[in-house]
């Protein structure tokens, strides 16, 4: 009698174990497309024969069937670490490429109406005036192109400052999202810790937490350390932002930088130190705001200063139609790209100094102006065009490097993510195989129970 009843117990255990497998397979299939989900597996163990009281012959013991000991998720920590490191670099290059592309659009090079083309038009206009010193139309055209040149420099400079302000605003709003993620991770840590104490895996909670860490790695350099209680310690740079169920917020303050761009947002950690990430979107944004855009505006100011200085020097040595000299073409008090402007001395275009000796019909000074185009007027080493073209080339190289870096990182991150998905991803075909296997085992166990029930009925009727 006892041996048959024990067989029923084995059947019952088998049904319970396979029910866990079937439910887990269902859970996997349901989350096959859920972002961050890791495939879960039921770990079956044989119930030790030490728990069996049934003896079938001398010294013969059997076990109690199978038991669902635990449910684990398929995850490889090394792949997560590599993925997050590559994600930081990928997002840094991607953001850099995006911003540099916008800068290139501001300059609109190469094109006839780019700043380089207007420089050429400016000196060509001096050539036209030199060809016909008495032509008021040529003088008006020169003045008009001069106005266009200054306006274009104003517009590029101001657009760069607007972009710098936009970048600063994006930097200012990012810590809020990082704080939200840190808060969510801390809450998940608390729940996972309870699950761990209770002997449960908390697999879905861990998936949500890892997905949040992945998102955080898009913005900055992030590292995680898993504790024995299942909680994460999360570091952003050298700042601990999550420790078990508590988190520290990153805050922002505004500094004055002087000049025209008076706003600079600084990210501050809980201990009051400035946090300057070197990777991720934040790292790229800070590099754009603090180094790249200021570097470009400084170059534009250098060009504007040289243009005003050398054109005015030649112009003051020349003579207008009235035979007077010592007039400026550009306003000598405005030597920056954002404020360069024509001098009021040439409001009357007849005052434009074309003559070199004061005589009518002479074009010596106009030809001197044309020659400026080929003179090394910047740092005694570059012409205006060479210096400007070098600036455009540097921007192009920066964009090319960012694009190349983004493409390389995109390839690497795809490879790592594919490797990671091969472990944690859900394969519907594999799950169906597991389902069919469990179905057959479940049906066999059910048949076993029915058979044992019939045998017990025979035994009972015999008595």
**Together in a domain, 96 and 10:** no
**Together in a domain, 186 and 43:** no
pLDDT at residue 61, rounded to an integer: 63
Q: In 3D, which of 201, 212, 208 has the Cα closest to residue 40?
A: 201
Q: Measured between alpha carbons, how far is 85 from 217 in angstroms, rounded to an integer?
A: 7
How many alpha carbons lie under 13 Å from residue 383 in its C-beta half-sphere?
14
- State which of 392, 413, 434 marks the end of a domain: 413
Strand partners, 59: none
**Together in a domain, 89 and 104:** yes
**Together in a domain, 41 and 114:** no
Whether residue 238 is contained in a domain is answered as: yes
- The residue written with tokens 């275009």 in the block is 349
- The residue written with tokens 């699950």 in the block is 195
**Together in a domain, 299 and 444:** no
Q: Can you read off the two tokens belonging to residue 166?
A: 């936009």
**Together in a domain, 302 and 238:** yes
Instruction: Please give the model's pTM, rounded to 2 decimal places.
Output: 0.84
Whether residue 284 is contained in a domain is answered as: yes
**Together in a domain, 348 and 406:** yes
Strand partners, 251: 268
Q: Can you read off the two tokens belonging to residue 352?
A: 């434009």
Whether residue 401 is contained in a domain is answered as: yes
Residue span of the structural domain in which 21 resides? 2-74+425-462
Strand order in the sheet with 239-243: 222-226, 232-236, 239-243, 246-247
Angle, alpha carbons 174-176-182 (nearest 5°): 110
**Together in a domain, 374 and 349:** yes
Whether residue 204 is contained in a domain is answered as: yes
pLDDT at residue 139, rounded to an integer: 94
Q: What is the dihedral of CA 233, 234, 238, 239, to 10 degrees?
A: -90
pLDDT at residue 257, rounded to an integer: 66
**Together in a domain, 28 and 156:** no
55: CB partners within 8 A, 6+ apart: 61
Number of domain units in the chain: 2
- Contact present, 230 and 196 (Cβ < 8 Å): yes
- The residue written with tokens 């989350």 in the block is 31
Chain-centroid distance of CA 106 in Å reads 22
Whether residue 420 is contained in a domain is answered as: no
- Contact present, 11 and 442 (Cβ < 8 Å): no
**Together in a domain, 374 and 397:** yes
Whether residue 228 is contained in a domain is answered as: yes
**Together in a domain, 51 and 181:** no
pLDDT at residue 228, rounded to an integer: 85
Q: In 3D, which of 394, 387, 181, 384 has the Cα closest to residue 280?
A: 181
**Together in a domain, 275 and 182:** yes
pLDDT at residue 230, rounded to an integer: 87
Q: In 3D, which of 450, 426, 383, 324 has the Cα closest to residue 38?
A: 426
Q: What are the angstrom distances between the C-alpha of 23 and each of 199, 431, 434?
A: 19, 11, 11
Q: Measured between alpha carbons, how far is 310 from 372 in angstroms, rounded to an integer?
A: 8
- The residue written with tokens 């670099």 in the block is 89
Q: In 3D, which of 251, 249, 247, 248 has the Cα closest to residue 188?
A: 247
What 59-66 contacts at long range (C-beta under 8 Å, 24+ apart), as own/partner pairs, is 63/10, 64/6, 64/9, 64/10, 64/13, 65/9, 65/10, 65/11, 65/13, 65/14, 65/17, 66/13, 66/14, 66/17
Per-residue pLDDT of the chain (463 residues; tens, 9 = 90+): 456 677 778 888 888 888 889 999 999 999 999 998 999 999 888 887 654 444 444 445 677 788 888 888 998 889 999 999 999 999 999 999 999 999 999 988 877 778 889 999 999 999 999 999 999 999 999 999 999 999 999 999 999 999 999 999 999 999 999 999 999 999 999 999 998 888 777 899 999 999 999 999 999 999 999 988 889 999 988 888 999 889 988 888 887 665 555 578 888 888 888 888 888 999 999 999 989 999 999 999 999 999 999 999 999 999 999 999 999 999 999 999 999 999 999 999 999 999 998 888 899 999 999 999 889 888 888 898 899 999 999 999 999 999 999 999 999 999 999 999 999 989 999 989 989 998 898 888 888 888 876 777 777 777 5
Angle, alpha carbons 279-281-285 (nearest 5°): 95
pLDDT at residue 52, rounded to an integer: 46
Whether residue 419 is contained in a domain is answered as: no
Q: Measured between alpha carbons, how far is 235 from 283 in angstroms, rounded to an integer?
A: 16
Instruction: Tell me how far apart the 2 most distant CA atoms of the chain are, in Å.
Output: 143
- The residue written with tokens 């809020």 in the block is 176
Whether residue 418 is contained in a domain is answered as: no
């Amino acid at each position: 009698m006892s041996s048959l009843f024990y067989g029923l117990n084995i059947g019952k255990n088998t049904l319970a174990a396979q029910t866990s497998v079937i439910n887990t397979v269902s859970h996997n299939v349901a989350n096959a497309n859920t972002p961050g989900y890791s495939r879960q597996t039921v770990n079956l163990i044989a119930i030790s024969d030490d728990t069996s009281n049934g003896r079938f012959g001398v010294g013969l013991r059997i076990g109690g069937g199978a038991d669902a000991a635990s449910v684990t998720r398929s995850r490889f920590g090394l792949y997560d670490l590599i993925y997050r490191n590559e994600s930081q670099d990928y997002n840094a290059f991607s953001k850099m490429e995006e911003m540099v592309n916008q800068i290139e659009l501001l300059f609109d090079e190469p094109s006839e109406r780019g700043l380089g083309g207007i420089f050429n038009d400016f000196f060509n206009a001096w050539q036209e005036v030199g060809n016909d010193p008495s032509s008021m139309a040529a003088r008006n055209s020169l003045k008009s192109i001069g106005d266009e040149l200054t306006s274009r420099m104003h517009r590029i400079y101001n657009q760069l400052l607007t972009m710098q302000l936009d970048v600063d605003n994006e930097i200012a709003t990012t810590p809020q999202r990082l704080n939200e993620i840190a808060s969510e991770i801390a809450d998940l840590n608390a729940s996972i810790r309870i699950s761990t104490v209770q002997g449960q895996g908390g697999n879905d909670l861990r998936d949500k937490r890892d997905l949040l860490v992945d998102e955080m790695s898009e913005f900055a350099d992030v590292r995680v350390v898993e504790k024995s209680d299942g909680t994460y310690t999360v570091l952003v740079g050298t700042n601990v932002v999550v420790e078990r169920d508590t988190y520290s917020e990153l805050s922002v303050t505004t500094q004055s930088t002087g000049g025209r761009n008076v706003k600079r947002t600084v990210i501050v950690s809980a201990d009051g130190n400035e946090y300057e990430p070197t990777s991720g979107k934040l790292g790229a944004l800070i590099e754009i705001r603090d180094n790249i855009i200021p570097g470009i505006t400084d170059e534009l100011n250098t060009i504007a200063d040289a243009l005003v200085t050398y054109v005015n020097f030649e112009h003051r040595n020349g003579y207008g139609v009235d035979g007077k000299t010592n007039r400026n073409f550009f306003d000598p008090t405005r030597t920056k790209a954002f404020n360069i402007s024509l001098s009021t001395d040439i409001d009357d275009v007849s005052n434009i100094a074309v003559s070199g000796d004061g005589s009518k019909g002479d074009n010596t000074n106009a030809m001197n102006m044309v020659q400026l185009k080929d003179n090394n007027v910047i740092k005694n080493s570059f012409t205006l065009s060479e210096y400007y073209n070098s600036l455009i080339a540097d921007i192009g190289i920066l964009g090319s490097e960012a694009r190349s870096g983004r493409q390389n990182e995109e390839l690497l991150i795809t490879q790592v993510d594919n490797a990671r998905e091969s472990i944690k991803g859900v394969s519907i075909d594999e799950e169906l195989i597991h389902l069919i296997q469990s179905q057959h085992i479940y049906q066999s166990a059910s048949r076993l129970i029915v058979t044992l029930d019939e045998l017990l009925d025979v035994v009972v009727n015999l008595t």
